[in-house]
Amino acid sequence: MIQIDSYVRLSGFYFFYFALLGALVPYWSLYLKSYQFDAVTIGSLMAVLQLSRIVAPNLWGWLADRNGKRVEIVRLGALMTCILFLGIFWQETALGIGLVMLGFSFFWNAVLPQFEVITLKQLGEQQEKYSRIRLWGSIGFIVTVAGVGALLDFISIRWLPFLMLLLMVCIWVSTLLVNTKTDFVTAQKEDSATDGFLSLLLRPQVLAFFVICFLVQFGHGAYYTFYSVLMEVVGYSRTEIGLLWAIGVIAEVILFVYMHWMIKRWGLRLIMIVSLALCVLRWLIIGGIPDNLPVMLFAQILHAATFGALHAVGIALVHHYFSDSTYGQGQALFSSVGFGLGGALGAFVSGLMWDGLGAFGTFAVSAFASFAAILLALYWIHPEKVQQNN
């Protein structure tokens, strides 16, 4: 049974990590807009945040699987995030801001996948309790997104980097509290570990799973990049925008509480397919009826499925598909293919489409990506046909 002390330490990291996300994702595009950047530039800069996820998680996951110093790697990544982000206070051009974003995100994006491995290892045989620890990340997001939104109605958006730096320092401090006994060496020999990872990865069902992860996050690209911009354009205040984001994550928190029960009752495959169908509905609603508050409230509640359920299912399937000696690389690939490649291309493409196709056309492309993911899941995702490798 996981000890209360360990539960608090693990939950604290998730709280601050996603609190930073609550300041960054909803409001960074508004910060960029304050420099009078156009939609293509904003989309490109938001894509930069995801670009490092393509390489960094895999590099750090490989290193952690080789030397077992996972906690030390997480601490280094959190510290370097703080140091490199300091450069933002001297940048006003798109190039300068983009370089700082690329630098700090290279380390920041590498931290979470390895901490996921640490958490699941500490949980041991009680991995169904992962959702209850992870929900503290959602709580951190809610507190920050609502608080920062209200604050930004009274202070300039240019204060946002100061708030973010404070949260980055809190993330680093929280990593110092994690028990170093969590460090472990999972790989015996580099060649055998690499061969084992490739053999597991190249199975058709696993490849289809990663394509689905890509499509899911590609679909989210427009949402993470332009949702706040769209809400501001149609007349919502920043306080209201923050509350809309918060409502979505509150729904996610409720789902995380019951997720372990839902997986046992309905299974990973059904939850994935239903959640993907709700992705299609959500993107069409946001793109088509953004000025209708009750409809927007409903769309935000769907965040429980489009992010919460799909994320929990994704974590469970990675653990299902990969062995102990390759799990760090599998978790890193889950992050890099989905949030990295998918998120970056989704943000960049939405920036290209925003001025020409408008909100509905851009979100319709997101809906189409989710529909394609449904077709793949219906044919390929059958977890019961792939043996556990742990």
What DSSP assignment string belongs to 289-347? -TT-HHHHHHHHHTHIIIIIIHHHHHHHHHHHHS-TTTHHHHHHHHIIIIIIIIHHHHH
Provide the pLDDT for residue 2.
53
Q: Which amino acid is at 132?
A: R
Provide the pLDDT for residue 256.
79
**CB distance 223 to 350 below 8 Å:** no
Provide the pLDDT for residue 61.
73
End-to-end CA distance of the chain: 19
**Rounded to an integer, what distance in angstroms lies between the CA atom of residue 144 and that of residue 246?**
9
How does residue 5 score in pLDDT terms, banded at 50, 70 and 90?
A: low
Provide the pLDDT for residue 245.
95
Domains in the chain: ranges and CATH: 4-385 (1.20.1250.20)
**Rounded to an integer, what distance in angstroms lies between the CA atom of residue 161 and that of residue 6?**
31
Q: Global pTM?
A: 0.85
Pull the structure tokens for residue 179.
């028990």
Q: What is the mean pLDDT of residues 169-190?
A: 70
How does residue 257 score in pLDDT terms, banded at 50, 70 and 90?
A: confident
Provide the pLDDT for residue 53.
78
How does residue 389 score in pLDDT terms, banded at 50, 70 and 90?
A: very low
pLDDT tens figures, 190-204: 555 566 788 889 999
**CA 98 to chain CA mean position, Å:** 20
**CB distance 81 to 172 below 8 Å:** yes
Helix ranges, the chain (H): 4-33, 39-67, 70-85, 94-123, 130-151, 160-176, 190-201, 204-233, 238-288, 293-301, 303, 310-321, 327-334, 343-380
Q: CB-based contacts of 375: which residues, under 8 Å, 6+ apart?
A: none
How does residue 349 score in pLDDT terms, banded at 50, 70 and 90?
A: very high
More confident residue, 145 or 330: 145
Lowest mean pLDDT among 177-186, 202-211, 229-238: 177-186
Q: What is the mean pLDDT of residues 310-338?
A: 85
Provide the pLDDT for residue 188.
46
How does residue 332 score in pLDDT terms, banded at 50, 70 and 90?
A: confident
Provide the pLDDT for residue 128.
61
Highest mean pLDDT among 170-184, 188-202, 214-228: 214-228
pLDDT tens figures, 61-113: 778 777 777 888 899 999 999 999 999 999 999 999 999 999 999 998 888 87
Q: Cα torsion for 3, 186, 317, 203, to the nearest 10°?
A: -170
DSSP per-residue letters across 14-57 = HHHHHHHHHHHHHHHHHHHHTTT--HHHHHHHHHHHHHHHHHHH
* Percent of the chain residues topping a pLDDT of 90: 63
Provide the pLDDT for residue 194.
62
Q: What is the mean pLDDT of residues 229-234?
A: 95
More confident residue, 21 or 2: 21
**Rounded to an integer, what distance in angstroms lies between the CA atom of residue 109 and that of residue 214?**
16
* Percent of the chain residues topping a pLDDT of 70: 92
Provide the pLDDT for residue 247.
95
Pull the structure tokens for residue 9.
């330490």
Residue environment code for 51-64, b if the CB has 16+ CB neighbours within 10 A, otherwise e: bbbbebbbebbbbb
Residue environment code for 102-125, b if the CB has 16+ CB neighbours within 10 A, otherwise e: ebbbbbbbbbbbbbbbbbbbbbee
**Rounded to an integer, what distance in angstroms lies between the CA atom of residue 51 and that of residue 157?**
24
Q: CB-based contacts of 300: which residues, under 8 Å, 6+ apart?
A: 244, 245, 247, 248, 251
pLDDT averaged over every residue in the chain: 88
pLDDT tens figures, 111-158: 887 888 888 777 766 666 777 787 788 889 999 999 999 999 999 999
